[in-house]
Structure 1
Amino acid sequence: MKTTRIIAAALLIVGSGLMLDGAAAQQPGIHRTDLIKNDLGVPGRETLQVRVDFEPGAVSIKHSHPGEEVAYVLEGSLEYQLEGRAPVTLKAGEALFIPAGVAHVAKNVGNGKASELATYIVDKGTPLVVPVE
């Protein structure tokens, strides 16, 4: 009986961790579509490309990544707030480089849907989105 409770508690803890990672990736008003994931020629590094769609007014959680991100706005207007910098607003056709480990928030500041193409060059095998308080 005690072993069953320990196993159940362990599964609950592991499951909660998985849900947290999923919650960081899929937030209300934000939809991520994974496009490609591939190893790089540099050992331990990989690249991922993701389309991120923001409903009007949607705001990401404050987060960072275990590598660099290039955000290219496909449609609409997105405001990016990188830690230690003034906010910058980009419209369709503009891009932003986000250094590894820099905490940031993205927000749809337009009237309609906004979308970005996010390209990540990150450490392989690590969570892509790291929530920051």
Structure 2
Amino acid sequence: MKRPTRQEDGLYHINGKTYPELFGSREQVRNGTAYKTEGNLVKKDLFTNKWGRIVSLKKHRTAKKEMRLRKYGYFAEKGKFGYVKKAVPKTRKVKGGAIGADLSVAYPTSASAHAAPSASVSGDASIKGSATVSA
């Protein structure tokens, strides 16, 4: 679209409407005293949120759809006012454990996976079993 120019009356004529300014603040665009913002938002792109701020409608909808607070652990809880931060299960890296430590236990190799369990493991199980019987 070609940049609009002022007419003889000193106003911008765009799509059958007149505007004293081409660019303005969001409030000026909403009030009709400017055609668009510096970021090229026109009146149909703007929206007043529940706090009374004039925001981009497109950005408002995407932020609402993304659920950004939930993504960072904030949830609504029954019986509480507002959002409550929920603890997320910590990973081994956050807890301070070595990343590659004891992976042989969690992920045995193919040779050790098919081997019979060691005697010490079965011996520990028999001791535990006998302790529970005598107690």
TM-score category, normalised to shorter length: under 0.3
**How does the TM-score come out when normalised to structure 1?**
0.20
TM-score normalized with structure 2 length: 0.19
Q: Which is strand-richer, 1 or 2?
A: 1
Q: Which has the higher contact order (CA 8 A, sep 6+)?
A: 1
Query: Could you say which structure has the higher helix fraction?
Result: 2
